[in-house]
Amino acid sequence: MEVGKVIEDSLQKRGIRRDRDVCQLSLATKKLTSVPDLSRFHFLRTLWLNNNKIRELSCRSVNCCLTELYLQNNNIKSVSGALRHLTCLQILFLHNNLIRGLEDTMHELRRMQQLQNATFFLNPISHELGYRQHVIHRLPSLQILDGKEVKPAERKTSFQIYSQDCHPHPPVCGFWKMPVIAS
């Protein structure tokens, strides 16, 4: 079924006639392979795109005031260049995809200062060394990560681990690492 028809059917079922009345849109389980153009929905706040077949993620046509985005259970490999304009997101579900590159993913999400609940489990990034501490450090507003509350002790540990990034040469075994000079 054509994406435009899917959207129109969804709106018709809910009795919505004007684009400005759309604040929630469910396009879950519609066998979508890409994110449709949703730029006409200026007041869209919640978008369900879960349980589709989306591979390449492009949300540029999605309203930047979106607060909830559900993309779990797709075939998404990367979020780079797709989500950075969604700075009002509070909920982002990306679990059970194929996302690789923890640093690139966190770089894409760095401006989401209101993000409180996010899921990345069942992605290759969730198996990277130090995954949870890295995510907590890079997304300090998170309250829930992968369905589990972010504890104050985790924040403290994350800060301690990654605050060393500010130093040009982190200490090694209590001593500052000295450059080796060949003679």
Average pLDDT, integer, range 6-26: 89
Per the model's pLDDT, the better-predicted residue between 37 and 174 turns out to be: 37
pLDDT tens for each residue of 150-162? 999 999 999 998 8
* Residue 20 to residue 180: CA distance in whole angstroms: 64
Residue 29 has φ and ψ, to the nearest 5°, of 50, 45
- Structurally, at CATH architecture level, domain 3-166 sits in Alpha-Beta Horseshoe (3.80)
> Residue 164: how many CB atoms within 10 A of its CB?
10
Of 81-85, 133-137, 176-180, the least confident: 176-180
Instruction: Tell me: pLDDT of 75 over 60.
Output: yes
Average pLDDT, integer, range 3-7: 85
* Residue 1 to residue 124: CA distance in whole angstroms: 31
Question: pTM of the predicted model, to two decimals?
Answer: 0.85
Instruction: Tell me: pLDDT of 91 over 50.
Output: yes
